[in-house]
Amino acid sequence: MRILFLLLICLPVTLLANGSQTAGLFSTSKENRTTDTATNSLTPYQISSLQVLGEVWGFLKYYHPGVAKGQFNWDSVLIAKVPVFLAAENARQLDEVMLTWLNELGNVAPCTQCDNTLTGRLSWNLDTAWITHSGFNSLLVNKLQYILANRNQGDNHYVTYGASSQIKVINEERYVNSEYQFQPTAYRLLALFRYWNIVNYFSPYKYLTSQKWEWVLHELIPSFYQAGDNTQYQRCIYKMITALEDGHNAIGGIGGLPQVAYFFGEYRYLPFLCSIVEGKAVVTLITNDSLCKLQGIALHDVIVAIDGETIEERISKRLPDVYSASNREAALQELCFSRLFAGRTITCTITKLTAQGNTSQVVINRYNHSLPWTTPPAPKWKMVADNIAYIDMDQLLPREVNKIMDSLNATRGIIIDLRNHPLDVWKPMAARLCSHKFLMARLAYPDLSFPGLYKYFPDYLEGVENNTPYQGKVILLVNVFSKSAGEYSAMGLQAATKAITIGNTTAGADGNITDWIALPGGLTTRFSGLGIYYPDGTVAQKKGVKIDIVCKPTINGALQGKDELIETAIKVIMQQ
């Protein structure tokens, strides 16, 4: 069996390479497409052969000029090549299969427009080392490197720019007619290869994943190959998307969520929201006050068990199914949103902890549809201590900023709460807090002339020249509810002021989202499409925004009805 070396190199002409192995196997004929299931295990070499197929197929899709211009039905080519790659028994035969394939595509003309230098480009996400380190013979290596250096320029049949210069995936078949009720083996692998390559070349944060991306492909091939029904196939999709570790991940489908979304039960909606605090579920927001009152649920309630199962046990069983999270804290919060309370009956029994250390049980309703929010919104701002103001950015409109800041101009300090999803309010707020223009972040977009590389947008200064900026202390509050717009707002206000940021790990999902990407079976997905970085190059994706004072809620604080982050902020301002 071929020995593969996974190396990352940065050479200006040989260029980079995406560490690879080999992968392969399955068979589908037109007669058995709707009944085909893979019952046999793949050999290690077959898995490696399929991986080679997936990587080369994706490389040619975005680099080979003829393929990238849509001159071939590239999905059909993949389906046809699967049994050919599976039949290869050794490295020599695999080289022959590859060379035959490349020759079928015709000659590639020399590219006079291709810029093969890395000057002005972000190269950390491009990895094509498999070309020279997968053990291919010299002729095959030279052909692949030639395509790399003389790649497609201009329009690509499969990808273009979206509204904010993030990628927009186009011309991808969903395969949703009756012939594909349950995806045959080849089409399941097509889903894996399609998504894996889109991420490989166009996710700005692929390099941040806990597991190297080439190993994700290697490990998922057997699961996709052996999936025995539609539920198993959809769970493979979940696992694939989860591996990207992106809080902007999402899954949709024809007519709504895929059926596997209800794996733990269709009754998943509640009239309140919880957060995990010290292994318990604490009610942090009442969304329907009348239903909560009827069922005995109050803000700051501490829930220790659901239907006799402790919260810790429930987390252990259900957390692996959370696909839309960049870090563990965000995964726990997403679990609270969607699966922690889910079940197959309309009621469940929760066990609550009292301030005296006792427990009580309450039977509550859960619902199979979202509920209207009936709780009146909190004040947009208020005084919380001696000459200290608090602003809820979730409620604030841009046009209201100047009036509020005029009212608070003489205060000792302002606490700005970003534990929410604000509108684009940070800009007018920053203009009142800062005396000068400033660079708040650097944004990177995909370079479609060289898939896998990124470029920075030109630096843009925010703010205004202001002779009378706010003179009091500024505190920013953040936590896992600070996501995307909340995190971007935090970064902006951090750049504008000498604000002190208090809180705990934010969601780590920053950057404009791609349009929906079609997958076989009528499924769709998406992820972060632009890279967002602090001016010093620090990334907020996965790790969250910068925090000066770490402060986490406690069970004791919840039982006493305290907002410990606000209390900490008041103390910091008072001490200044």
Q: pLDDT value at position 128?
A: 86
Element (H, E) at 478: strand 473-478
338 CB-near residues (< 8 Å, 6+ apart): 261, 268, 322
Superfamily of domain covering 272-365: PDZ domain (2.30.42.10)
Predicted pLDDT at 520: 93
**Where in the chain is CATH 2.30.42.10?**
272-365
CA 97, 100, 102: angle at the middle one, nearest 5? 110
**Ramachandran class of 286: left when φ > 0, alpha when ψ lies in -120 to 50, beta otherwise:** beta
Pairing, β 302-306 against β 280-286: antiparallel
H-helix segments, 446-521: 485-496
Which tokens go with 19? 């560490």
Q: Which of 123, 119, 142 is nearest to 132 (CA)?
A: 142
Start and end residues for every CATH 3.90.226.10 domain found in the chain: 381-511+529-575
Contacts of 484 (CB under 8 A, 6+ apart): 247, 248, 421, 507, 509, 510, 511
Region of residue 132 (left: phi > 0; alpha: psi -120 to 50; beta: else)? alpha
pLDDT of 203 reads 96
- Give the model's pLDDT for residue 179: 63
Distances in Å between the Cα of 484 and the Cα atoms of 196, 419, 506 are 23, 11, 9
Residue 178 has what pLDDT? Answer: 63
Q: Which residues contact 100 (CB under 8 A, 6 or more apart)?
A: none
Q: What is the pLDDT of residue 375?
A: 82
pTM of the model: 0.90
Question: What pLDDT tens digit does each residue of the chain (576 aa) get?
Answer: 333 322 222 322 323 333 333 232 222 333 333 334 455 789 999 999 999 999 999 999 999 999 999 999 999 999 999 999 999 999 999 999 999 999 999 999 999 999 999 888 999 889 888 898 888 999 999 999 999 999 999 999 999 999 999 999 999 999 987 666 678 899 999 999 999 999 999 999 999 999 999 999 999 999 999 999 988 999 999 999 999 999 999 998 876 778 888 889 999 999 999 999 999 999 999 999 999 999 999 999 999 999 999 999 999 999 998 999 999 999 999 999 989 999 999 999 999 998 888 999 999 999 999 999 888 888 999 999 999 999 999 989 999 999 999 999 999 999 999 999 999 999 999 999 999 999 999 999 999 999 999 999 999 999 999 999 999 999 999 999 999 999 999 999 999 999 999 999 999 999 999 999 999 988 999 999 999 999 999 999 999 999 999 999 999 999 999 999 999 999 999 997
At residue 255, the pLDDT reads 66
User: What is the C-alpha separation between 443 and 466, in angstroms, rounded?
Assistant: 25
Domain 381-511+529-575 is found in CATH 3.90.226.10: yes
Say what angle helices 185-202 and 74-87 make with each other, to 10 degrees.
110
The stretches of 472-552 forming alpha helices (DSSP H) are 485-496
Q: Which DSSP letter does residue 44 get? A: H
**Residue 160 CB contacts under 8 Å (≥ 6 apart), including other chains:** 167, 168, 170, 448
97 residue type, one letter: V
Residue 381: predicted pLDDT: 95
- Asked if 507 and 484 count as a contact pair (C-beta separation under 8 A), the reply is yes
What was the pLDDT predicted at 11?
28
